[in-house]
Chain A
């Protein structure tokens, strides 16, 4: 079974600094998708960024970027110029390509605190 591991239960960063959240996963599949979701306190979970495994180029979304290393099965999230609004739980998630009813496997999450 696929598993997703987030080894950092909590992280903190100073406002305007850069922070990297770690994620590793285990799968025997060659085609799959990886996601980072953000859950602010008492607010809805939203997608931050996604990566298709067949793409070698790392995905970026404004201040958010990933370092995808397929051979190492590593998928870290880098947040640049951290803002107070980035404080949240961050979940790494994996989905196999199933061409239909895709299911997500989530890590246990990393709580990010942004200090002013």
Chain B
């Protein structure tokens, strides 16, 4: 079974702190994604990566950056956390099929609270 893990289920940080959210997948997937999930807004894509050291902005990249130094690991960085970044953060990964869209597999999520 595909396994996507996230470093923390719950995280509480203070405004202005630098925050790292880690995601690891064990299925050699090329694609990895970071979403945030807010009630009434669904899931919104922050960043995604289709290869090591490659990244592209999603729909809401402001205030975030990412790092992908190894294929299995994709990190989301909040350079200076703000209260409006309080949210559930979901990581996902998928194969990069040559002719089809493959399923995205999701991690359990990190609920981040910024005080």
Q: Would you call A91 and B106 a contact (CB within 8 A)?
A: no
Chain A proximity mask over B19-50: 1 for CB below 8 Å, otherwise 0: 00000000000110101000011111100101
Q: Would you call A45 and B90 a contact (CB within 8 A)?
A: yes
Contacts of B80 in A (CB 8 A): none
Q: How far is the CA of A33 from the CA of B99 in the complex (A)?
A: 12
8 Å CB interface, A68-105 against B: 91, 95, 97-104
Q: Which listed residue (B41, B44, B101, B107) contacts A102, Cβ 8 A? A: B101
Q: Would you call A106 and B42 a contact (CB within 8 A)?
A: yes
Contacts of B44 in A (CB 8 A): 106
Q: Is the interface of A mostly helix, strand, loop or mixed?
A: loop
Task: Find the residue from B30, B31, B92, B104 having the highest chain A CB count within 10 A.
Answer: B104
The answer to whether the Cβ of A46 comes within 8 Å of any Cβ in the partner chain is yes
Q: How far is the CA of A43 from the CA of B108 in the complex (A)?
A: 6
**A91-B108 in contact given A99-B98, A101-B31 (Cβ < 8 Å):** no
The answer to whether the Cβ of B96 comes within 8 Å of any Cβ in the partner chain is yes
The answer to whether the Cβ of B17 comes within 8 Å of any Cβ in the partner chain is no
Q: Would you call B58 and A91 a contact (CB within 8 A)?
A: no
Q: How far is the CA of A44 from the CA of B104 in the complex (A)?
A: 12
Q: How far is the CA of A97 from the CA of B33 in the complex (A)?
A: 17
Q: Would you call B43 and A91 a contact (CB within 8 A)?
A: yes
The answer to whether the Cβ of B83 comes within 8 Å of any Cβ in the partner chain is no
Give chain A nearest CB distance to B42 CB in angstroms.
4
8 Å CB interface, A1-43 against B: 9, 33, 35, 37, 43
Q: How far is the CA of A28 from the CA of B86 in the complex (A)?
A: 34
Q: Chain A: which residue is nearest B40 at the CB level?
A: A108
Q: Chain A: which residue is nearest B56 at the CB level?
A: A101
Contacts of B108 in A (CB 8 A): 43-44
Q: How far is the CA of A35 from the CA of B104 in the complex (A)?
A: 10
Give chain B nearest CB distance to A50 CB in angstroms.
7
**A108-B42 in contact given A45-B106, A101-B31 (Cβ < 8 Å):** yes
Give chain B nearest CB distance to A33 CB in angstroms.
4
Q: Would you call A100 and B96 a contact (CB within 8 A)?
A: yes
- On A, residues with C-beta under 8 Å from B are 9, 33, 35, 37, 43-47, 50, 52, 91, 95, 97-104, 106-109
